[in-house]
Structure 1
Amino acid sequence: IAAPGTVKHVNPGESIAVNGCCLTLTSCRSDCLSFDLLEETIACTNLNDLRQNSPVNLERALRADGRVGGHFVQGHVDCVAPIIAFDTKGADFRLEVELPENSRHYVASKGSIAVNGISLTVAEVLPRSFAVWIIPYTKRHTNLDRATIGDLVNLEFDVLAKYVERMVTPLVTKE
């Protein structure tokens, strides 16, 4: 991945999120970052859809002594889903993404979700999709600036929702 100006700040072995998918940096030279991809990663993310010059979102791992802004995004992509609407209202943008049926219970209005690694607040939960509002700054500084209807985005659901499900499911199934 071409990442001018980034190479001098990172080292092989570091975790770097690419479109929200946590990857281990294997080498960095001449303004390029290299990663190894597992077949599982290719199957479960939109990374296989990337072509030369495709824009990606890059983010280094959170340091323990750093500030937390947004919600905890782990880089563990849960699924990919298509963008089904991208509307403009004034200076703001509304992004609507199809929600796989087996994942709908993880999404709540005003809850958190990561789309291509971008921490966003769910504005609306619809029967088969969800919508988020994106401010101009976020759109300009992420690969959502070039997103179009039909593009697949990586989704990571809020880890708290996944842990609650994990803890509650055995209790509910006992009854």
Structure 2
Amino acid sequence: MFTGIIESMGIVERLPDSKNKTLSIKVGCLAAELKPGMSLAVNGCCLTVTQIMEEEVQFFILEETLRATTLGELKMGEEVNLELPLRMSDRFGGHFVTGHVDCKQTICAVEKLGEEKEIWIHYPSFAKCYMVPKGSIAVEGISLTIGKITNESFCVWITPFTLNHTNLRTKRPGDKVNLEFDLLAKYAQKIINERLGTND
């Protein structure tokens, strides 16, 4: 379990391919807090550590993960968002983030508003029920607040601190990002669907 508060940035050192599904990331000082078998959120994807070599950490990436998330589109040297799993004693600064990405979607617009940015992102039709003004959403693993909403997209407002400490500072229209919709909203929708006898 995570909270969507990014702790540091990592650098992609090795990409998975058809013969070797290993993703290697230079994680810096976070390596000292990890060991094989532990989880680390990378751009919002919960991955299991398989090997640690000084400041470089390796993960085995499933085919489904490559298909359903932006990890299959990473480039060598690209920056990624990192978050260690939540400890029971930690402050809960964001919202419940599982690291189980729901989909990858396209940024449709980025507007600079002084020092901050307004980023518009498409969302799939099945997620319309999760689009709530002032609700929570994880974008690239970052806990953000939903701003304005249309029938096909939503916006988030990004503070200067978040821009300086996450990979959102490099994102442009046309780029894809990982989305994880609010866990509590998904449970609520499932309960409602079961009460109504629908599968939507």
- The answer as to 2:99 corresponding to 1:75 is yes
- The answer as to 2:195 corresponding to 1:171 is yes
Q: Distance in 2 between matches of 1:134 and 1:151?
A: 16
- C-alpha RMSD of matched pairs (Å): 1.0
- The answer as to 2:146 corresponding to 1:115 is no
TM-score normalized with structure 1 length: 0.96
Match of 2:123 in 1: 99
Match of 1:142 in 2: 166
Q: Distance in 2 between matches of 1:67 and 1:5?
A: 21
Deviations 1:100-126 (A, max 9, x none): 112121111100000000000001111
Letter in 2 for 1:5: C
Letter in 1 for 2:43: N
Match of 1:31 in 2: 55
Unaligned runs of 5+ in 2: 1-24
Letter in 2 for 1:148: R
Unaligned runs of 5+ in 1: none
Deviations 1:119-142 (A, max 9, x none): 000011111100000000001100
Q: Distance in 2 between matches of 1:41 and 1:16?
A: 14
Match of 1:16 in 2: 40
Letter in 1 for 2:185: A
My pick for the range that moved more, 135-144 or 3-12, is: 3-12
SS at match of 2:79: coil
Q: Distance in 2 between matches of 1:139 and 1:67?
A: 22
Q: 1:58 Cα deviation (Å)?
A: 0.6
Q: 1:99 Cα deviation (Å)?
A: 0.8
Q: 1:49 Cα deviation (Å)?
A: 0.4
Match of 2:180 in 1: 156
Matched residues, number = 174
Between the aligned residues of both structures, percent identity stands at 44
Match of 2:16 in 1: none
Within a 5 Å distance, the mapping from 1:47-62 to structure 2 comes to 47-62=71-86
Structure 1 consecutive aligned stretches of length 4 or more whose deviation exceeds 2 Å: none
